[in-house]
Amino acid sequence: MADRRPIESWLTDMDGVLIHEGVPIPGADAFLKRLRESGKPFLVLTNNSIYTPRDLHARLRRMGLDVPTENIWTSAMATAQFLDDQRPEGTAYVIGEAGLTTALHDIGYILTDHEPDYVILGETRTYSFEAMTKAVRLINDGARFICTNPDETGPSAEGALPATGAVAALITKATGKSPYFAGKPNPLMMRTGLNTIGAHSETSAMIGDRMDTDVLAGMEAGMQTFLVLTGLTRPEQVEDFPYRPSQIVDSIADLVDRI
């Protein structure tokens, strides 16, 4: 690996890096504590658009992990930032939960099903056929199609659940229109996140458990990348990809001393 400048700011995925199935991964608390003590800018990222930063702060705190709300960056927030840059104070028909609707309200968007500028699809616990039908008709009538993230499945205690990417595929099939995905692996999510903490990609690192989202997005944003093996990607799967992380480590615990 070519020599890089020292890491001055950190971005890390949440599921598979800091927590796994609602349980903190050993070393996560020490890593976050060291980050807070160091004063270095950092963000905890998630493609899940269901929860607001306040929700996630409370959920993590119940698990014993202290992440301030200002250090949480979601695909819903990245989507809202993108729309605020593209079409300020616009209108949107939204399929999603409070994490998405709150982010849109915060940038002054009006949520409506009357000739909206955008149809925005996010994660939700219950995808309504009626809502999807409405989305298809609005897109056919000229609304632009935006999706918070491309994840096709999500985890549950009973097994995999259809997620945003799968529902987006249904709407695409019905309309012939593909969405713009704001979340990982789009490096836009990394860049907007870095901007919020005043960080630069050349001195930043991304930690993740997935090659196809975390590592890809970090690499394309120009950051150093660390793959942890506590989530979805196994060591033998790394060679299946045409790109590599800057470094592979067993877990977040191996990075505490890098801060």
Alpha carbons within 13 angstroms on the beta-carbon side of residue 86 total 16
Tell me which residue of 104, 84, 86 sits closest to 94, measured CA to CA: 104
Q: CA-CA distance, 213 to 80, in Å (whole number)?
A: 20
Q: CA-CA distance, 259 to 256, in Å (whole number)?
A: 6
Which of 3, 13, 117, 257 is catalytic? The answer is: 13
Query: Is residue 31 a contact partner of residue 14, using CB atoms and an 8 Å limit?
Result: no
254 is catalytic: no
Which of 15, 151, 209, 214 is catalytic? The answer is: 15
Eight-state DSSP code of residue 15: B
Q: How many other CB atoms sit within 10 Å of the CB of residue 217?
A: 28
55 is catalytic: no
β-bridge pairing 23-24 and 19-20: antiparallel
Q: Which residues are catalytically annotated?
A: 13, 15
